[in-house]
Amino acid sequence: MTSLVSTSSNSGLTEHGAGSGDGTVSGYAISSVVWTLDSDAPREIDSVSFDVSPSGGAGSPTEVLSTVDNGSTWISCTGGPTTWTCTFGAGVIASTANPLRIVSVE
């Protein structure tokens, strides 16, 4: 995961965080990833849920998006401030989905 974190101790600006990508980064930690398959078509992904934890002084995210097709389609996730769920439309085949990519913005 790639992260963008803006900090300032003397300028009077509030510290903010944003993160994007895959792997471990500063800004946000992603954990407890749970994939849910479509009960009528179990080879398709229905949704993914996960926890987003701020680190490095970032606040809780107010917007989270995800993609499983290398960024062609971004899904707005719901929930928060800790647990988020991203529900995909029909046709997202589990065996062809690229690695999960998450963007979190404070």
pLDDT at 3: 26
Supply the pTM of this predicted model.
0.77
CB 4 within 8 A of CB 85: no
Domain boundaries, the chain: 2-105
Q: What is the pLDDT of residues 70-103, one digit of tens each?
A: 889 899 999 999 999 999 987 888 888 888 888 8
Contacts of 66 (CB under 8 A, 6+ apart): 48, 74, 75, 77, 86, 100, 101, 102, 103
Length of the chain: 106
Q: Could you give the count of Cα atoms lying within 13 Å of 32 in the half-sphere of its Cβ?
A: 9
